[in-house]
Amino acid sequence: MSSPAASTALLRRQLKEMQGDKDLSNISVGLIDDNIYEWEVMLMISDDCKFYGGGFFRARLSFPKDYPLMPPKMQFETPIWHPNIYPDGNVCISILHPPEEDKYGYESVQERWLPIHTPESILISVISMLSSPNDESPANVNAARQWREDPTGFKKQVRKCVRDSLEMC
């Protein structure tokens, strides 16, 4: 079982590692109100990303006291149109789902949260998700429908999100 002291120490180490990693130049992380359990994240999406390239998207990672046994929650604060992001900004990706059997039978336990995941692996997975939406299990049904049925309209909506993200920086 993970204690709050152990999770605090782990999060401090992971934050320091991410802030010092030159290979993560497209990800910026910091604390919100000096709270190790609340991280502000800025994802600067490279131009080679199929849809969101050039965007600067602010998000929040909220870690539970029993991290790393349970996953954090991630919520975009910058509005973003994506099949796997709820309209309120909450991210729906398998690795952020609790490590238990999926009551709908869609995901295996191995696809869900495992304590080996780190904030870095989460953010890299989310960036990957932006390029490759999963429209079979959407968080935003309207975005998923548009992704499937109107790719041109979807791309136009996403480009608007990118422009808006730049204005919000």
119 vs 9: CA distance, rounded Å: 14
More confident residue, 110 or 55: 55
Q: Can you give the pLDDT at residue 77?
A: 97
Q: What percent of the chain has pLDDT over 90?
A: 77
Question: Which of 49, 92, 161, 169 does the annotation list as catalytic?
Answer: 92
- Hey, CA dihedral for 106, 103, 124, 142, is it positive or negative? positive
Is pLDDT above 90 for 34?
Answer: yes
- Hey, CA dihedral for 68, 42, 73, 96, is it positive or negative? negative
Long-range contacts of 139-142 (CB under 8 A, 24+ apart): 139/83, 139/84, 139/85, 139/86, 139/90, 139/91, 139/92, 140/81, 140/82, 140/83, 140/84, 140/85, 140/86, 140/87
Residue at 111: amino acid letter:
E
Please indicate whether residue 92 is annotated as part of the active site. Answer: yes
Q: Can you give the pLDDT at residue 103?
A: 67
Angle ∠(117,87,25) on CA atoms, nearest 5? 45
Is pLDDT above 80 for 109?
Answer: no
| CATH homologous superfamily of 4-168 | Ubiquitin Conjugating Enzyme (3.10.110.10)
Residue at 117: amino acid letter:
H
Task: Give the pLDDT band of residue 50 (cuts 50, 70, 90).
Answer: confident
Q: Can you give the pLDDT at residue 111?
A: 78
Domain borders along the chain are: 4-168
Neighbours of 61 (CB within 10 A): 23
pTM, two decimal places: 0.92
More confident residue, 34 or 106: 34
Mean pLDDT of the chain: 92
Least confident residue range of 51-65, 92-106, 145-159: 92-106
pLDDT in tens, 125-147: 999 999 899 888 899 999 999 99
Calculated CA dihedral for residues 32, 33, 37, 39, nearest 10 degrees: 10
- Hey, CA dihedral for 13, 16, 19, 20, is it positive or negative? negative
Neighbours of 1 (CB within 10 A): 5
